[in-house]
Structure 1
Amino acid sequence: MRLDLAGKAVLVTGAASGIGSACARAFLAEGARVGLIDRSPIPPLVGDFTDEPVRQFGGLDGEVVAVQADVTDEQALASAVDTVAQRFGRLDVVVGCAGISGPVGTPVAETTAEDFATVLAVNVTGQFLLVKHCLPWLAPGASVVFLASDSAFVCAPGMAPYCASKGALVTLTKALAVELDGVRVNCVCPSVVDTPMSRGDLGDALDDPEFPVQATDDVAQHVLYLASARSRTVNGQAVLADFGVSARSGFPA
């Protein structure tokens, strides 16, 4: 399927690793121009962007802009968005991958208000701020894709802040889709993905998992589709990618 993403101006947050990095590579492979934002240093890129508009990221040639910024710092995020958008002249696609898991495995009684607020600040407010500051740069027909989670629909003990944040992000997706004229807003909701963050939370459980685990590239392909004109009729939707686990009834049959 042709996605016709060549030459599109794309911005990806959380691009230093995991799903964000996979999305950046996938867009570059399609010939898009990609802006990278992360609070952590972006892995070294080949070339001096000021002198060489063609650089490399993840072994792929392409036009890349990398800016270090925290999505919870509105001023820094706004500046980073402007840096990317000014270089490209517009934004056709915005991908919000920045996210944290918070205190996984911590009972509610032991979860602090600060921990809860920190998770929402990154996973929800950070996404809101991203769209807010991208708005002046969004081209007609632009697409916004958030990374939510199956935890917006199914929950595990010890993950109340994370589950609440992803549920809020799904609803934020719908709210923005309704409010923004000419801009599509959708989110991808994967189950467990093999990322550094997941390995930090689950440890050795990902080495020989007793549950289905997907790769970051699997998620990136969903993002590419939602970013492309091939999904022009899809708006305000949460694409649940969980191997069908949530479709199974608990009825003993």
Structure 2
Amino acid sequence: MRTELAGKAVLVTGGASGIGLACAEAFRAEGARVGVIDRQDGLGVVRADVTDEPALAAAVDTVARRFGGLDAVVGCAGISGPVGTPMSATTAADVARVLAVNVTGQFLLVKHALPWLADGGAVVLLGSDSAFTAAPGMVPYCASKGAVVAMTRALAVEVPGIRVNCVCPSVVDTPMARADLGAVLDDPAFPVQAAGDVARQVLFLASPASRPVNGQALLADFGMSARSAFPA
């Protein structure tokens, strides 16, 4: 498949590690010009926290001015929050922090990138299969990813001329996932994606190849959510 991304200007948040880094590398491999916003240092990184609106707005402007505009924006900055923590031990501050990064951070990214996006441009946000299925001890994270899916649909009808979609992968082998899940990721019975798998999904949604696709959540979970509870 030809992505037609060569020469395109792409902004990736959370692009210094994990899925964001894989996305940045994949876009570069297609010949795109890539700018990265992250709290960590890295190749071509403009440092900013997505929860700090003035800093994020300035970082978006820095990248967009460098390229003379933007063709695609990819929001990969995110946190898992408390994992395996029962609701009784989850604080309001825990919930607020997860929502601030995973939801408000995505909103602010699109808000400040929008003036720079070319007509026909694309936004791809990072959701999760946790928007559709749940595990105990992950209420803040599941709520945040459900909000990303709803926001994706809302933005798709709010913003004329710009396509907005999100990817919703199951567990991905990243530093964040390993910190949360540890050796479980190495169990061959436990289906795990590589960050590069998600990056290829993002490339498709950011490219002209997906021109009719708008307001959609691409759920990639090895078919786990399709399984019936009916005993077979």
Give the TM-score taking structure 1 as reference length: 0.91
Which whole-Å CA distance do the structure 2 matches of 1:147 and 1:180 have between them? 18
The letter of the residue matching 1:98 is: A
Does residue 114 (structure 1) correspond to residue 93 (structure 2)? The answer is yes
Write out per-residue CA displacement over residues 100-126 of structure 1, whole angstroms, 9 at most, x where no aligned residue. 000000001110000000000000000
Contact 2:184 2:190 in 1 (8 A): no
Which whole-Å CA distance do the structure 1 matches of 2:94 and 2:189 have between them? 29
Which whole-Å CA distance do the structure 2 matches of 1:235 and 1:16 have between them? 27
Distance 1:209 1:117, change over 3 A: farther
Instruction: Report the counterpart of residue 228 of structure 2 in structure 1.
Output: 249
Tell me the SS of whatever aligns to 1:100. coil
Offset of 1:213 from its aligned partner?
Answer: 0.3
Instruction: Report the counterpart of residue 238 of structure 1 in structure 2.
Output: 217
Tell me the SS of whatever aligns to 2:193. coil
Does residue 167 (structure 1) correspond to residue 158 (structure 2)? The answer is no
Offset of 1:210 from its aligned partner?
Answer: 2.9
The percentage of aligned residue pairs carrying the same residue is 76
Instruction: Report the counterpart of residue 142 of structure 1 in structure 2.
Output: 121
Write out per-residue CA displacement over residues 200-228 of structure 1, whole angstroms, 9 at most, x where no aligned residue. 00011112243100100000000000001
Write out per-residue CA displacement over residues 82-106 of structure 1, whole angstroms, 9 at most, x where no aligned residue. 0000000010000000000000000
Contact 2:38 2:46 in 1 (8 A): yes
Q: How many residues align?
A: 232
Offset of 1:41 from its aligned partner?
Answer: 1.8
Mapping 1:44-123, distance limit 5 Å: 45=43, 65-123=44-102
Mapping 1:179-218, distance limit 5 Å: 179-218=158-197
Does residue 17 (structure 1) correspond to residue 21 (structure 2)? The answer is no
Write out per-residue CA displacement over residues 154-180 of structure 1, whole angstroms, 9 at most, x where no aligned residue. 000000000000000000000000100
Which whole-Å CA distance do the structure 1 matches of 2:193 and 2:184 have between them? 14
What's the Cα RMSD here?
Answer: 0.7
> Which ranges of 4 or more aligned residues in structure 1 deviate by more than 6 Å?
none
Offset of 1:66 from its aligned partner?
Answer: 2.1
Give the TM-score taking structure 2 as reference length: 0.99
Tell me the SS of whatever aligns to 1:7. coil
Which whole-Å CA distance do the structure 2 matches of 1:208 and 1:41 have between them? 32
Which whole-Å CA distance do the structure 2 matches of 1:39 and 1:218 have between them? 24
Instruction: Report the counterpart of residue 40 of structure 1 in structure 2.
Output: 40
Which whole-Å CA distance do the structure 1 matches of 2:188 and 2:152 have between them? 31
Write out per-residue CA displacement over residues 54-94 of structure 1, whole angstroms, 9 at most, x where no aligned residue. xxxxxxxxxxx420100000000000000000000010000
Identify the structure with the greater helix proportion.
2
Which whole-Å CA distance do the structure 1 matches of 2:48 and 2:37 have between them? 6
Contact 2:130 2:142 in 1 (8 A): yes
Runs of 5+ consecutive residues of structure 2 not aligned to the other structure: none
The letter of the residue matching 1:245 is: M
Which whole-Å CA distance do the structure 2 matches of 1:206 and 1:217 have between them? 16
